[in-house]
Amino acid sequence: MKLIIAEKPSVGRAIAESLGVITSNKTHIECKNNHTVIWCFGHLFELASPEFYLNKESKIWLKEDLPIFPDNWQLLPKPASKTQLKLIGDLLKKSDLIIHAGDPDREGQLLIDEILDYFHNKKIVKRFWCSTPDQRSITTALNNLEPNEKYKSWGKSAYARALADWLIGMNLTRANTLAFKERGGRDLIVIGRVKTPTLNLIVERCNQIENFKPIPYFKIKAIFDYKNHKLHTLFKPKEDQKGLDQDGRLIDLDVVKTITATVKLESKGIISNNRHEKKSIGQPKGLSGAGLGKIAFNLYGYSAQKTLDLSQALYEKKVTSYPRTDCEFLSENQYQESKEIIDIIANIPQYKVIIDNADLTIKSSIWNDKKITAHHAIIPTFHSFNIDILSKDEANLYDIIVKNYISQFYPKHEYNLQTITITCGGYDFGTSVKTILQSGWKSIFENDEVEDQEQLEDQELTLDVLVDDPVLCSEINFSDEKTKPPAYFTDSSIIEAMINIHKYVSDEYKKYLKETDGIGTIATRAMIIEELSKKEYIERQGKGKKSKIIATNLGKQLINSVSGNIKEPAITAVLERHLQSIQDGSGEIEPFLNRQKEFVIKELERAFDPNRQNVIEIIPCPDCGADLIRRTGQKGKGKTATKYDFFGCSGYPKCKSSFKVSKDGQPEY
């Protein structure tokens, strides 16, 4: 018997359908040619708790128990998985060949490998690797099975990640919570290898906004008459212009008045430069999970987790490819298959017009074998279906994916850009005119949010404006402007920040981090944001596209209470690089874990350093003398619920005193 072990029921059933079903059960399916398909429900095992290694029944946290470094790591079956696990074990005994059908990523590899290790499997294992769950792709994958050994290092990397998360999370959560209480705090301080640096990004952004002091500057605008045109221009300072700050803004009012007075008096100027460019914007990049999330947020206000859930649902319905991908490209082979996918989409009436205008001979830069990773960009599949099976939100996401795919078969977007410089009274003013030559792929999207890939092609064009032609200034004035604070993070921009973490680290680490380094993975980033929200470290304000992520007082308190290294994103980004080295076979788990243990020991010392300054202002309850704790409450339920801060007595429930928070952050007695 050939036993196929899938990661989840939907994938198992899709594989069984491809093989031909004989008998279907709730737990497994018997198929033609002596195949049996069984599935998991996510991870069937979990790492043992600290109490297991401490050999304690009590769950009271004690300083003297730290650090907790297991000598022999234990994976224990989850209580809910024991029945399915036993059935897998029984089927393994009857099998001649095992086919590993975990999802095509690190966690998918580990999920099945840990089952095989648990049962001490010695039989031959082949790896089924499929990014699109349609019948054609499944059949192709079944006909091209590879040795599972080829991907074992992927599972090792996922296992190393789990152990590192355990070491850091279990030890430092306990240490920082205990130390926090010693300094007057009363809250649980949950530390996570990725969660804490991510929270730190959000807290720092909120602090920047709250402490932002706008810088005043001036903007000079002038209107010049040229033949039958009125040219609206902005002042363009030269390099030696006086009155500029380091960012090139005009900040000296006297200089501004001199410029406007001189130009008004002179009034006559000339066209000093007339630059013509033909520009082309290439077809949009393919959709990675993060790229899809960004567009879904900008168009529909979907949270990162909602987009991931929807894209997973589309994947399980076989209509789109694997969603947890960081790749933005497709293979050359997929270009050869594009007509068949287009034919499937053409059966959906709403896409008929844009498909009729597509040109399948166009080959955009998305097709590139050299840039394919373990996965490819998210695309529609060969699976034929009725669009009515999709919910409204699923259809919205499918629409983004379809339009991105079809846009690859439209011409580039082309336009002429004319940049005009006018000199008057010795000062330069500029304006530009854009003329679309060919709408190209942009005609598909209308007002949709897409990311341009701009490519410049200089080409002189003949326009009516001529250098040295005279102009006359008919109006000039200036306006008071102020710099704006950075924007709050959104579900889209915080994911982008986690990916491009090199933009947010100190100069000390920038040189070590390439643009490909980040924190978290495509599979975990959305979940991390949700976990921070559930712990009430962050909250969303506003709805849909206008929602923003704000750090709560508790979140700020947590970040203020822990040492810099725990919240330093560069530390986590470097750790991700070590995980990648384990995945590609150049690194090993043991030295990696030793580095994590060294890190934990240093952070324990920092947590319990007696010289650390208290970050908690201890305010006694006026009714009983116990500590008051600032907390977040909620009024109402559902969509009408609102959150508010208050001070509550730590002696609750014996003392039920609570107080509003004043403008200066103190309790109102």
What gap in Å lies between CA 481 and CA 474, rounded to an integer?
Answer: 23
Looking at residue 617, its pLDDT comes to: 60
Average pLDDT estimate for 557-576: 83
Residues 493 and 456 in one domain: no
How high does pLDDT run on average in the chain?
90
Active site (annotated) includes residue 644: no
Residue 322: give the domain boundaries. 289-407
Whether 71 maps to a domain, the answer reads no
First vs last Cα of the chain: how many Å apart?
Answer: 75
Helices 304-316 and 491-499, packing angle to 10 deg? 80
- 263 phi and psi, to 5 degrees? -65, -40
Whether 62 maps to a domain, the answer reads no
Pairing mode of beta strands 642-649, 619-620:
unpaired
Whether 149 maps to a domain, the answer reads no
Residue 668, class by beta-carbon neighbours within 10 Å (0-12 exposed, 13-18 middle, 19+ buried)?
A: exposed
Of 98, 117, 144, the one marking the end of a domain is: 144
Looking at residue 616, its pLDDT comes to: 53
Residues 478 and 500 in one domain: no
Assigned token pair, 87: 């059935």
Residues 423 and 303 in one domain: no
- 619 phi and psi, to 5 degrees? -115, 120
Residues 571 and 625 in one domain: no
Q: Which helix (H) or strand (E) holds 555?
A: helix 553-561
Q: Decide: 475 and 445 in contact? Cβ < 8 Å.
A: no
Q: Decide: 492 and 547 in contact? Cβ < 8 Å.
A: no
Residues 505 and 590 in one domain: yes
Q: How confident is the model at residue 613 (pLDDT cuts 50, 70, 90)?
A: low
Q: Which helix (H) or strand (E) holds 423?
A: strand 413-424
Is residue 216 over pLDDT 80? Answer: yes
Average pLDDT estimate for 532-548: 91
Looking at residue 459, its pLDDT comes to: 46
Whether 54 maps to a domain, the answer reads no
DSSP 368-386: -GGG--SS--B-B-S----
Tell the residue number behind the tokens 């224990």, with chain if given: 76
Residues 195 and 171 in one domain: yes
What gap in Å lies between CA 596 and CA 600, rounded to an integer?
Answer: 6
Pairing mode of beta strands 538-541, 470-482:
unpaired
Q: Decide: 407 and 318 in contact? Cβ < 8 Å.
A: no
CA distances to 83, 177, 299 from 293, in Å: 37, 34, 10
Instruction: Identify each DSSP E strand in 439-547 by its residue range.
Output: 453-457, 470-482, 538-541
Q: Decide: 543 and 535 in contact? Cβ < 8 Å.
A: no
Looking at residue 272, its pLDDT comes to: 97
Contact partners, residue 625, CB within 8 Å, separation at least 6:
none
Assigned token pair, 193: 């290898």
- Which CATH number fits the domain that encloses residue 477? 2.70.20.10
Q: Decide: 159 and 583 in contact? Cβ < 8 Å.
A: no
Structural domain count of the chain? 5
Is residue 642 over pLDDT 80? Answer: no
Residues 501 and 552 in one domain: yes
Q: Decide: 384 and 413 in contact? Cβ < 8 Å.
A: no
Q: What is the pLDDT of residues 31-53, one digit of tens each?
A: 999 999 999 998 999 999 999 99
Residues 586 and 497 in one domain: yes
Highest mean pLDDT range out of 512-526, 545-559, 648-662?
545-559
What gap in Å lies between CA 28 and CA 89, rounded to an integer?
Answer: 13
Assigned token pair, 325: 């991908």
Q: What value, to the nearest 5°, has the Cα angle with vertex 145 and ends 141 and 149?
A: 135
Looking at residue 340, its pLDDT comes to: 93
DSSP 42: S
Of 585, 607, 629, the one marking the end of a domain is: 607
Catalytic residue among 302, 322, 398, 509: 322
Looking at residue 84, its pLDDT comes to: 95
Residues 34 and 128 in one domain: yes
Residues 208 and 221 in one domain: no
Is residue 638 over pLDDT 80? Answer: no
Whether 460 maps to a domain, the answer reads yes
Is residue 457 over pLDDT 80? Answer: no
Tell the residue number behind the tokens 């929807």, with chain if given: 310
Q: Decide: 545 and 297 in contact? Cβ < 8 Å.
A: yes
Contact partners, residue 444, CB within 8 Å, separation at least 6:
354, 403, 406, 407, 410
Is residue 646 over pLDDT 70? Answer: yes
Whether 52 maps to a domain, the answer reads no
Contact partners, residue 475, CB within 8 Å, separation at least 6:
222, 223
Share of the chain above pLDDT 90, in %: 67
Whether 448 maps to a domain, the answer reads yes
Looking at residue 460, its pLDDT comes to: 47
- Which CATH number fits the domain that encloses residue 339? 1.10.290.10
Q: What is the pLDDT of residues 341-363, one digit of tens each?
A: 999 999 999 999 999 999 999 99
What gap in Å lies between CA 569 and CA 556, rounded to an integer?
Answer: 16
Residues 586 and 493 in one domain: yes
Highest mean pLDDT range out of 236-250, 434-448, 622-636?
236-250
How many CB atoms neighbour CB 466 within 10 A? 9
Whether 614 maps to a domain, the answer reads no
Looking at residue 463, its pLDDT comes to: 58
Is residue 184 over pLDDT 60? Answer: yes
Secondary structure of residue 261 in the 3-state scheme: helix
Positive/negative CA dihedral, 388, 389, 392, 395: negative
How many CB atoms neighbour CB 36 within 10 A? 21
Residues 516 and 590 in one domain: yes
Of 357, 373, 407, the one marking the end of a domain is: 407
Contact partners, residue 644, CB within 8 Å, separation at least 6:
632, 633, 634, 635
